[in-house]
Amino acid sequence: MTGPSYGLKDKVFVVTGGSRGIGLEIARRLLSEGARVAICGRKAENLETAAAALGPSDRLLTVPAHIGRQPDVDRLFAAVIARYGRLDGLVNNVGMNIASGTLDADADLWRKIIDSNLTGTYLCARTAGRIMRDQRAGKIVSISSIAARRAAPLMGIYGVAKAGIEMMTRVLAQELAPFNVQVNAVSPGMVRTGFSQPFWENAEIYQRIVAGIPLGRIAEPSDVAHAVLFLCSAGADFITGQTLCVDGGASAV
C-alpha cells in the first residue's frame, strides 16, 4: 500500500468499529505500517468479513464487543493486553445516527445515540487512558464530525454526542498530559462510506454538498485514516487536546 510512512511498526492499537467504513480503512493502514491491531464490533460475522478483507495476519485480533457496556470494554482491553502486553494507541471510531428531529425523538432514541457515540467513546478512553497512564505513554484519537459544530436537519442528537467527544478530548488531554499521553480528535465532513451512502449516491444531493466544499469532493476513508495515523505517530508528540478537521475546507467557508 503506497503513501506516507508514520513509523508505527510493532505498535499496538485498538480500533473500535473496525469492521467497516472508516474504522476498517484505519485498521488496514495500521497493518500496512506493521502495527499490531485489535478491531472490535458488535457482530462477530462482520468482524469475520473484515478479517477476510484485511487478509491473514498474526498482527490482527478481532474481539466482538459492545463499547457501550463496561464488561465488553473490559474484555476487549484484557484480550489486547493478554496478547500483546501493552497498548500504544486507541482509535475511537464507533459512531451511529438514527435520523430524527431532536424534539420528536423519545428518551430511548436519545440514549441509544448518545450511548453509541459518546458513552462508548468515554468508556474506551477511560479504560485505555488508565493503561497508558501506568505505561506513561500512549495516543488516543477519537472520530468526531463537523456535525459537532454545524447543526443539520435530522442530525441533532448525533451532533450533541460528537460535540461531547470534542470536549472530552480536551479534558482528557489535560488530565493525561503529565503522563505523556496525547489525546486528539479528527472531525471529518461527509465520507464515502455506507453510513452516508444515501447522500453521496444521489447525484443531485451530492452536487449540493460538494458545492460547499472548496476542494470539490467528499472525503474518502483514506483521507481520514491518514489524519488519524499522523496523530498516532511520533510526529504528533507535541499535539494534544486538538480536533483536526478533515473536510476539504468546508469549515473554512
C-alpha cell of residue 135: 505505561
Active site (annotated) includes residue 158: yes
- Could you write out the DSSP letters of every residue in the chain? --S-----TT-EEEEETTTSHHHHHHHHHHHHTT-EEEEEES-HHHHHHHHHHH---TTEEEEE--TTSHHHHHHHHHHHHHHHS---EEEE-------B-TTT--HHHHHHHHIIIIIHHHHHHHHHHHHHHHHT-EEEEEE--GGGTS--TTBHHHHHHHHHHHHHHHHHHHHHGGGTEEEEEEEES-BSSGGGHHHHTSHHHHHHHHTT-TTSSPBPHHHHHHHHHHHTSGGGTT--S-EEEESTTGGG-
Which one is catalytic: 6, 84, 122, 158?
158
Q: Could you identify the residue written with the cell 482528557?
A: 172
| Nearest one of 56, 57, 60 to 38, comparing CA atoms | 60
Identity (one letter) of the amino acid at 68? G
Rounded to an integer, what is the distance from CA 199 to the centroid of its chain? 21
| First CA to last CA distance, the chain | 33
Catalytic residues: 158
